[in-house]
């Protein structure tokens, strides 16, 4: 996969060329905003190369967009503007769709038959559920109604659905009843998604109730697999789940930022890149 491949379903990657020099500031601002939305975080150097302009020009562009609340300025680059609200579920289903399929297939290959799993809320974990459809004799405990529906097509699977408060927008089950239910089990594998991974290894999400359910999964699985596409790297979110050092393996579609790789290496976290 190309290093600069885009995850936008409606706006395929079109690296700027010499014609970008004639692009108006307003057009450039629109493109920068889309790139940041697609990738989660981008550096000034990357944007300067994309648009064939100076880093100083990009810094001015980022300042303008930041003042308008469209993106957030960070040291050395720009990222998503909101730490309190995730992208809508229907948009996330198509964002990085192909990358999520590759990640899911890669993770599914590491799951043997005849094992027990937790699978939590998220579009990437739903892709893993589909990729596991050919396995045999899995016992799956999930707080994701979409995962339950996907995996119910295999009659060899035993599907156990957690109780709790239904989050209508994405079929997730959350709350105290969900946490208490998950804590009753000790399973072989936990498969979780995440909204953001900071460069220091902090795992971040938007809903503290979803985070508590994911925390219970981490605490009650013998091995934990994190599935996350590259847009989650350095993405800003408000609620802390834990640290990537608590995960046994990360499955993603691009090489993570160097500081994050260092953290994973020290913690002996396996890295799988599609």
| SS3 at position 164 | coil
Residues 177 and 142 in one domain: yes
| Judgement on whether residues 66 and 184 belong to the same structural domain of the protein | no
CATH number of the domain where residue 192 is located: 3.40.50.1360
Torsion of CA 85, 90, 96, 98, to 10 degrees: 160
d(CA 172, CA 121): 6
Report which of 1, 2, 7 is spatially closest to residue 233, judged by C-alpha positions. Answer: 7
Please list, in sequence order, all residues whose beta carbon lies within 8 angstroms of the beta carbon of residue 232, skipping any fewer than 6 positions away: 40, 194, 195, 196, 197, 252
Q: Within 13 A of 118's CA, how many CA atoms are on the CB side?
A: 33
Provide the pLDDT confidence category of residue 3 given band limits of 50, 70 and 90.
very low
**79 token code pair:** 């990222």
Q: How many domains does the chain have?
A: 2
- Outline where DSSP puts E strands in the chain: 41-43, 71-74, 77-80, 116-119, 139-142, 158-161, 165-167, 172-174, 187-192, 196-197, 202-205, 221-227, 239-243, 249-252, 270-273
Residue 8 lies in a domain: no
Same domain as 62, residue 121: no
The predicted pLDDT at position 65 comes to 86
Question: Are residue 50 and residue 23 in the same domain, yes or no?
Answer: yes
Q: 51 lies in which domain range? A: 18-80
Looking at the fold, whether 164 and 259 belong to one and the same domain comes out as yes
260 and 126 fall within a common domain: yes
For residues 184 and 266, membership in a common domain is answered with yes
Quick one: what percent of the chain has pLDDT higher than 70?
85
pLDDT digits (tens, 9 = 90+) for 54-96: 999 999 999 988 877 678 777 778 876 555 455 566 666 666 8
Last residue of a domain, one of 61, 80, 99: 80
**pLDDT of 5 strictly over 60:** no
Domain CATH code at residue 37: 1.10.10.10
Residues 177-189: tens digit of each pLDDT: 999 999 999 999 9
- Condensed to tens digits (0 to 9), the pLDDT of residues 142-189 reads 999 999 999 999 999 999 999 999 999 899 999 999 999 999 999 999
């Amino acid at each position: 996969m190309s290093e600069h491949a885009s995850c936008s379903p409606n706006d395929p990657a079109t690296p700027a060329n010499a014609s970008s020099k004639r692009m108006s500031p307003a057009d450039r601002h629109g493109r920068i905003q889309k790139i940041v939305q697609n990738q989660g975080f981008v550096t000034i150097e990357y944007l300067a190369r994309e648009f064939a302009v100076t880093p100083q020009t990009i810094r001015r562009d980022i300042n303008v967009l930041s003042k308008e609340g469209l993106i957030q300025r960070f040291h050395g680059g720009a990222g998503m503007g909101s730490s309190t609200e995730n992208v809508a579920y229907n948009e996330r289903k198509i964002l990085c769709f192909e990358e999520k399929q590759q990640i899911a297939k890669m993770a599914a290959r590491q799951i043997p038959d005849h094992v027990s799993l937790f699978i939590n809320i998220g579009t990437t974990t739903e892709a893993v559920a589909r990729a596991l459809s050919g396995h045999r004799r899995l016992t799956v405990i999930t707080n994701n109604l979409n995962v339950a529906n996907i995996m119910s097509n295999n009659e060899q699977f035993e599907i156990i659905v957690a109780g709790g408060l239904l989050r209508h927008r994405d079929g997730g089950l959350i709350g105290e009843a969900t946490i208490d239910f998950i804590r009753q089990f000790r399973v072989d594998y936990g498969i979780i998604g995440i909204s953001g991974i900071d460069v220091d290894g902090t795992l971040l999400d938007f809903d503290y109730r979803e985070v508590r359910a994911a925390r219970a999964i981490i605490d009650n699985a013998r091995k934990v697999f994190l599935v996350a596409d590259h847009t989650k790297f350095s993405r800003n979110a408000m609620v802390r789940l834990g640290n990537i050092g608590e995960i046994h393996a990360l499955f993603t579609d691009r090489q993570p930022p160097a500081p994050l790789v260092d953290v994973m290496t020290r913690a002996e976290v396996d890295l799988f890149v599609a």
